[in-house]
Structure 1
Amino acid sequence: MISSDLLVPEAIRVIPAMSSKKRLFNTLSEIARQVYGLCSETSCDALMDRESLGPTAVGHGVALPHARLRGIDRVRGVFLKLEKPLDFGAADRQPVDLVFGLFAPDTAGVDHLKALASVSRTLRDPDLCSTLRANGDITTIHALLTQRSASDAA
């Protein structure tokens, strides 16, 4: 389940095309600045540093770039749907079109891991990913990602 506290509708975008991972990280960071007040330069640098350890693409067209930051009070998310998939260095060699960026406090510990696991579990559902890919409406995308928690609890 993805908490509606973790991902707000204002942090969701549908992007026609992205030229590179670096541009993608800049976009994630800029949205995090606009929506959550995070420093875009620091956020982008942290995403790049994490990515240098290994690709955050998890396969099947999904990537989960994430970073820990100082000065953030809780884990925050940004979701991008790319209309033109981007090569992300995934192990399955599939380009990425669904990107969920996570920004966590540098002291988050378990909360960061729980959020990452929750997003990963949610985006591992092939039916959900197909539905996300078929939708361009931000409100619908937000509902699909966050209302899943209600169906998981049933």
Structure 2
Amino acid sequence: MDISKILNPDHILLSQSPGSRAVLLNLLARSAAEALGLSEADIRQALEAREALGTTGIGGGVAIPHATLDGLDAPFLMPVILRKPVEMDAVDEAPVDLVFLSLFPTGDQISPLKLMSAITRRLNEEGVAETLRKAKDAETAFFALTQPSER
């Protein structure tokens, strides 16, 4: 899946400091609701239900909270770069500072796997995660996530 076809630079949040997992989920739900025109409560509930199944912290300071939602027509991606890491019960027990909120239309079983795979592949490319952590503006983060590597 091509991240550049899903990601809108206006949906990249930088220098956030939620302080806790609960506050982070609230931030994600509120920000996504504003961007999508959907219910903040519905988004929050979907995220909490998914987190209850198991952590979305994949290790290396990265989490990919994701859920499916009624009323969503296409996959939605919102990268959030945290100023201070948050505990997310990640598989490596490391706190998270790169969060990739991913929302999908109800019934879409393929896009979540493709997008999560694309995100992890991109983050495994040399320098991408570090560039995101140091990004001062959304354009820098967008470029890091969407431009082909020079390998």
Structure 1 length as normaliser, TM-score?
0.89
Equivalent AA in structure 1 for residue 32 of structure 2 = A
Shift of 1:2: 4.5
2:103 matches 1:106: no
RMSD over equivalenced CA pairs, Å: 1.8
CA contact (8 A) 2:59 2:94 kept: yes
2:56 matches 1:67: no
Pairwise mapping of residues 87-98 of structure 1 onto structure 2 (< 5 A)? Answer: 87-98=87-98
Q: In structure 2, what is the Cα distance between the partners aligned to 1:77 and 1:38? A: 14
Pairwise mapping of residues 22-61 of structure 1 onto structure 2 (< 5 A)? Answer: 22-61=22-61
SS where residue 43 of structure 1 aligns? Answer: helix
Equivalent AA in structure 2 for residue 8 of structure 1 = N
Q: In structure 2, what is the Cα distance between the partners aligned to 1:66 and 1:16? A: 19
Aligned length: 151
CA contact (8 A) 1:64 1:120 kept: no
Q: In structure 2, what is the Cα distance between the partners aligned to 1:94 and 1:122? A: 20
Q: In structure 2, what is the Cα distance between the partners aligned to 1:99 and 1:2? A: 18
2:117 matches 1:117: yes
Partner residue in 2 for 1:143? 143
CA contact (8 A) 1:87 1:96 kept: yes
Partner residue in 1 for 2:4? 4
% identical aligned pairs: 36
Partner residue in 2 for 1:131? 131
Instruction: Select between 72-81 and 132-141 the one with higher mean Cα deviation.
Output: 132-141
Q: In structure 1, what is the Cα distance between the partners aligned to 2:81 and 2:137? A: 10
Q: In structure 2, what is the Cα distance between the partners aligned to 1:126 and 1:59? A: 16
Q: In structure 2, what is the Cα distance between the partners aligned to 1:72 and 1:16? A: 25
Moved over 6 A (4+): none
CA contact (8 A) 2:47 2:65 kept: yes
Structure 2 unaligned runs (5+)?
none
Instruction: Select between 30-39 and 76-85 the one with higher mean Cα deviation.
Output: 30-39
Shift of 1:43: 0.8
Equivalent AA in structure 2 for residue 45 of structure 1 = Q
Could you say if the C-alpha distance between residues 98 and 5 of structure 1 is closer, same or farther in structure 2, counting changes exceeding 3 Å? same
Q: In structure 2, what is the Cα distance between the partners aligned to 1:40 and 1:4? A: 25
CA contact (8 A) 1:2 1:145 kept: no
Shift of 1:19: 2.0
Q: In structure 2, what is the Cα distance between the partners aligned to 1:73 and 1:137? A: 28
Shift of 1:36: 2.0
